[in-house]
Amino acid sequence: MEIFVARTDNEIEHALARIRNADALGCDTETSGLSAKYGRLFSIQFSDGDFNVLVPLSEGVSIGTYAEILADERIVKIFHNAKFDLDFLREAGVKVHNVFDTMIAEKVLTRGANQSASLAETLYRYFAVDLDKSQRAKFNRKWDGIWTEELVNYALSDVVYLPGLMNEQKKWLDRLGLAEEFSVQNSRIT
Protein backbone atom coordinates (compact mmCIF):
# COMPACT_ATOMS: atom_id res chain seq x y z
CA MET A 1 0.00 0.00 0.00
CA GLU A 2 1.51 3.28 -1.11
CA ILE A 3 0.59 6.39 0.90
CA PHE A 4 1.00 9.80 -0.69
CA VAL A 5 0.18 13.33 0.48
CA ALA A 6 -0.21 15.78 -2.42
CA ARG A 7 0.95 19.23 -1.31
CA THR A 8 3.15 20.72 -4.04
CA ASP A 9 2.29 21.18 -7.73
CA ASN A 10 4.58 18.27 -8.65
CA GLU A 11 3.03 16.01 -6.00
CA ILE A 12 -0.47 16.95 -7.14
CA GLU A 13 0.40 16.12 -10.76
CA HIS A 14 2.02 12.82 -9.73
CA ALA A 15 -1.07 11.79 -7.76
CA LEU A 16 -3.43 12.82 -10.55
CA ALA A 17 -1.43 10.81 -13.07
CA ARG A 18 -1.73 7.75 -10.82
CA ILE A 19 -5.50 7.96 -10.18
CA ARG A 20 -6.74 9.51 -13.44
CA ASN A 21 -6.94 6.14 -15.22
CA ALA A 22 -8.55 4.15 -12.42
CA ASP A 23 -11.88 2.44 -13.10
CA ALA A 24 -12.94 2.96 -9.49
CA LEU A 25 -11.65 5.03 -6.57
CA GLY A 26 -12.41 4.85 -2.89
CA CYS A 27 -13.19 8.40 -1.75
CA ASP A 28 -13.65 10.05 1.62
CA THR A 29 -13.45 13.45 3.27
CA GLU A 30 -12.41 14.67 6.69
CA THR A 31 -14.41 17.57 8.04
CA SER A 32 -14.76 19.78 11.10
CA GLY A 33 -18.23 18.54 11.96
CA LEU A 34 -21.47 17.09 10.74
CA SER A 35 -22.99 20.13 9.01
CA ALA A 36 -21.80 20.94 5.50
CA LYS A 37 -23.31 24.39 5.81
CA TYR A 38 -21.30 25.33 8.91
CA GLY A 39 -18.39 22.88 8.87
CA ARG A 40 -15.07 22.94 7.05
CA LEU A 41 -13.72 20.44 4.55
CA PHE A 42 -10.23 19.45 5.76
CA SER A 43 -9.26 16.89 3.13
CA ILE A 44 -10.29 14.54 0.41
CA GLN A 45 -8.78 11.08 0.09
CA PHE A 46 -8.64 8.71 -2.88
CA SER A 47 -7.55 5.07 -3.20
CA ASP A 48 -7.47 2.60 -6.05
CA GLY A 49 -6.71 -0.10 -3.48
CA ASP A 50 -2.94 0.20 -3.89
CA PHE A 51 -2.16 3.90 -4.33
CA ASN A 52 -3.66 6.11 -1.62
CA VAL A 53 -3.55 9.88 -1.77
CA LEU A 54 -4.62 12.54 0.70
CA VAL A 55 -5.24 16.09 -0.53
CA PRO A 56 -4.72 18.32 2.57
CA LEU A 57 -7.21 21.13 1.91
CA SER A 58 -6.70 22.39 5.48
CA GLU A 59 -3.09 23.21 4.57
CA GLY A 60 -4.19 25.46 1.71
CA VAL A 61 -4.01 22.90 -1.09
CA SER A 62 -6.76 23.52 -3.66
CA ILE A 63 -9.12 20.77 -4.72
CA GLY A 64 -8.37 22.01 -8.26
CA THR A 65 -8.04 19.23 -10.82
CA TYR A 66 -9.25 16.62 -8.33
CA ALA A 67 -12.72 18.06 -8.96
CA GLU A 68 -12.40 16.77 -12.53
CA ILE A 69 -11.72 13.27 -11.19
CA LEU A 70 -14.84 13.47 -9.01
CA ALA A 71 -16.97 14.70 -11.93
CA ASP A 72 -15.62 12.10 -14.38
CA GLU A 73 -18.54 9.83 -15.34
CA ARG A 74 -16.16 6.99 -16.31
CA ILE A 75 -14.64 6.52 -12.85
CA VAL A 76 -16.77 4.97 -10.11
CA LYS A 77 -16.37 6.99 -6.89
CA ILE A 78 -16.86 4.68 -3.91
CA PHE A 79 -17.96 6.31 -0.67
CA HIS A 80 -19.25 4.90 2.59
CA ASN A 81 -22.19 7.11 3.60
CA ALA A 82 -21.86 9.15 0.42
CA LYS A 83 -24.58 11.63 1.37
CA PHE A 84 -22.35 13.09 4.10
CA ASP A 85 -19.30 13.54 1.86
CA LEU A 86 -21.34 14.72 -1.11
CA ASP A 87 -23.00 17.42 1.00
CA PHE A 88 -19.58 18.84 1.93
CA LEU A 89 -18.28 18.56 -1.63
CA ARG A 90 -21.40 20.27 -3.03
CA GLU A 91 -20.98 23.06 -0.49
CA ALA A 92 -17.42 23.47 -1.83
CA GLY A 93 -18.80 23.70 -5.39
CA VAL A 94 -17.64 20.24 -6.46
CA LYS A 95 -19.87 17.94 -8.51
CA VAL A 96 -19.52 14.19 -8.13
CA HIS A 97 -20.83 11.66 -10.66
CA ASN A 98 -20.99 7.86 -10.79
CA VAL A 99 -21.15 7.12 -7.06
CA PHE A 100 -21.31 3.72 -5.37
CA ASP A 101 -22.25 3.95 -1.69
CA THR A 102 -21.00 0.93 0.26
CA MET A 103 -23.18 1.84 3.24
CA ILE A 104 -26.33 1.67 1.11
CA ALA A 105 -25.13 -1.60 -0.40
CA GLU A 106 -24.59 -3.03 3.08
CA LYS A 107 -28.03 -1.90 4.24
CA VAL A 108 -29.62 -3.58 1.21
CA LEU A 109 -27.60 -6.76 1.81
CA THR A 110 -28.31 -6.98 5.57
CA ARG A 111 -31.89 -5.72 5.67
CA GLY A 112 -33.72 -7.12 8.58
CA ALA A 113 -30.61 -8.64 10.11
CA ASN A 114 -30.11 -5.87 12.71
CA GLN A 115 -26.46 -5.47 11.72
CA SER A 116 -24.64 -2.18 11.78
CA ALA A 117 -23.70 -0.70 8.40
CA SER A 118 -20.88 1.39 9.88
CA LEU A 119 -17.64 1.27 7.93
CA ALA A 120 -15.75 -0.26 10.85
CA GLU A 121 -18.21 -3.11 11.34
CA THR A 122 -18.69 -3.67 7.61
CA LEU A 123 -14.93 -3.96 6.99
CA TYR A 124 -14.62 -6.31 9.93
CA ARG A 125 -17.32 -8.60 8.51
CA TYR A 126 -15.78 -8.73 5.04
CA PHE A 127 -12.04 -8.52 5.70
CA ALA A 128 -11.52 -8.94 9.51
CA VAL A 129 -10.07 -5.41 9.55
CA ASP A 130 -10.18 -3.42 12.78
CA LEU A 131 -10.41 0.32 12.05
CA ASP A 132 -9.10 2.57 14.81
CA LYS A 133 -11.42 5.58 14.86
CA SER A 134 -9.81 7.28 17.88
CA GLN A 135 -8.04 9.88 15.71
CA ARG A 136 -11.39 11.22 14.47
CA ALA A 137 -11.82 13.37 17.59
CA LYS A 138 -8.86 15.54 16.53
CA PHE A 139 -10.81 16.92 13.56
CA ASN A 140 -12.69 19.86 15.05
CA ARG A 141 -12.80 23.64 14.74
CA LYS A 142 -9.75 24.00 17.02
CA TRP A 143 -7.51 21.65 15.01
CA ASP A 144 -4.49 23.44 13.50
CA GLY A 145 -5.05 21.79 10.09
CA ILE A 146 -1.58 20.23 9.88
CA TRP A 147 -1.53 16.60 8.76
CA THR A 148 0.70 14.37 10.88
CA GLU A 149 1.67 10.88 9.76
CA GLU A 150 -0.81 9.29 12.16
CA LEU A 151 -3.67 11.51 10.92
CA VAL A 152 -2.81 10.72 7.29
CA ASN A 153 -2.79 6.99 8.07
CA TYR A 154 -6.12 7.30 9.86
CA ALA A 155 -7.76 9.22 7.00
CA LEU A 156 -6.48 6.82 4.35
CA SER A 157 -7.54 3.74 6.33
CA ASP A 158 -11.13 4.69 5.49
CA VAL A 159 -10.58 4.55 1.71
CA VAL A 160 -8.01 1.81 1.05
CA TYR A 161 -10.55 -1.00 1.46
CA LEU A 162 -13.43 0.62 -0.43
CA PRO A 163 -12.58 -0.73 -3.92
CA GLY A 164 -12.37 -4.29 -2.59
CA LEU A 165 -15.50 -3.82 -0.49
CA MET A 166 -17.47 -2.60 -3.50
CA ASN A 167 -16.37 -5.65 -5.51
CA GLU A 168 -17.44 -8.04 -2.76
CA GLN A 169 -20.77 -6.27 -2.26
CA LYS A 170 -21.50 -6.32 -6.00
CA LYS A 171 -20.97 -10.09 -6.03
CA TRP A 172 -23.41 -10.54 -3.15
CA LEU A 173 -25.95 -8.11 -4.60
CA ASP A 174 -25.91 -10.15 -7.83
CA ARG A 175 -26.06 -13.53 -6.06
CA LEU A 176 -29.01 -12.45 -3.94
CA GLY A 177 -30.87 -10.69 -6.75
CA LEU A 178 -30.60 -7.32 -5.00
CA ALA A 179 -28.63 -5.34 -7.60
CA GLU A 180 -31.72 -3.51 -8.88
CA GLU A 181 -32.86 -2.60 -5.37
CA PHE A 182 -29.38 -1.26 -4.63
CA SER A 183 -29.41 0.80 -7.84
CA VAL A 184 -32.71 2.42 -6.88
CA GLN A 185 -31.50 3.22 -3.34
CA ASN A 186 -28.09 4.42 -4.53
CA SER A 187 -29.59 6.71 -7.20
CA ARG A 188 -31.34 8.74 -4.49
CA ILE A 189 -28.08 10.17 -3.11
CA THR A 190 -26.89 12.08 -6.16
Q: What is the CATH number of the domain that holds 82?
A: 3.30.420.10
Amino acid at 62: S
CB atoms within 10 A of CB 128: 7
Task: Output the tens digit of pLDDT for each of the chain's 190 residues.
Answer: 799 999 999 999 999 999 999 999 999 999 998 888 998 999 999 999 999 999 999 999 999 999 999 999 999 999 999 999 999 999 999 999 999 999 999 999 998 788 899 999 999 999 999 888 777 777 877 889 999 999 999 999 989 999 999 999 999 999 999 999 999 999 998 7
pTM of the model: 0.95
Q: What pLDDT does residue 95 have?
A: 96
Q: Which domain holds residue 81?
A: 2-187
How many domains, in total, are found in the chain? 1
d(CA 89, CA 97): 12
What is the H or E stretch that residue 50 is in? none
Sign of CA dihedral 152, 158, 161, 163: negative
